[in-house]
Amino acid sequence: MGHFCHRQIRRFLASAGAAMAVATLVTVAPETQLPTAAAVSCPEVEVIFARGREEPTGTGIVGTAFVNALRAKSTKKIGYYPVDYDANISVDQGAKDMSAHIQYMVATCPDTRLVLGGYSLGATVTDMVLATPGPFFGYSNPLPLGSDEHVAAVVFFGNGARKVLGYPVSEFLPTWTNKVIDLCNAQDPVCSSSLDVKTFPANWGDHLQKGYLDSGLVNQAATFAAAKL
């Protein structure tokens, strides 16, 4: 899992909190549902994905597109698990559920390769799971050491922590570096380097789900993850 000093953790989670505040502005588009998955107790691969703010229960638009793209690029049987949280502001709730499900899969299906991910607020959920080695801010179920060995890839879309830190999240998480792809549309006001608030309204479309689907970044993430399986 890697070890970080308390100052680093505070800085990272402060950035995650700032990201959460920005991500609460996201406008939701109608969700395209994943096709019903066949009941497989231990799939070869499972995607564990946290949707964006106020998206309907499920993997969300970006998560759904990612799972479908990954399935198209791999011959492996790929299941999915939508992180169970209200997708409003309860990042700690989402992080606890994501962590609990990872731990369940590690114990029950140790040979299953896991792919973690999140879009917007869901990216902040994933940030907390990866970066927090102990209880913090209501998150009370951190991953045990060695959990990372079961994770093949981690995909972020529109991750606000990237903007606050000033660099991709993978650089803060050395244990995960080679497994992480942290994607941001060029003008996405939530995660890009631009600090000009005057441009935020005009560029808000780059943060919305359609912006990530149209840009090809979802397909890029699927290509990255497929190569790690």
Q: How far apart are CA 16 and CA 18, in angstroms?
A: 5
Among the listed residues 15, 92, 170, 207, the single catalytic one is 207
User: Active-site residue 188, yes or no?
Assistant: yes
Q: How far apart are CA 28 and CA 201, in angstroms?
A: 16
Among the listed residues 92, 182, 188, 206, the single catalytic one is 188
> 190: burial class by Cβ within 10 Å (0-12, 13-18, 19+)?
buried
User: Active-site residue 206, yes or no?
Assistant: no
**How many C-beta atoms surround the C-beta of residue 101 within 10 A?**
18
Among the listed residues 15, 99, 120, 192, the single catalytic one is 120
User: Active-site residue 99, yes or no?
Assistant: no
Q: How far apart are CA 137 and CA 87, in angstroms?
A: 17
Those residues with Cβ within 8 angstroms of residue 97's Cβ, 6 or more apart along the chain or in another chain: 83, 84, 85
Q: Which residues are catalytic?
A: 120, 188, 207
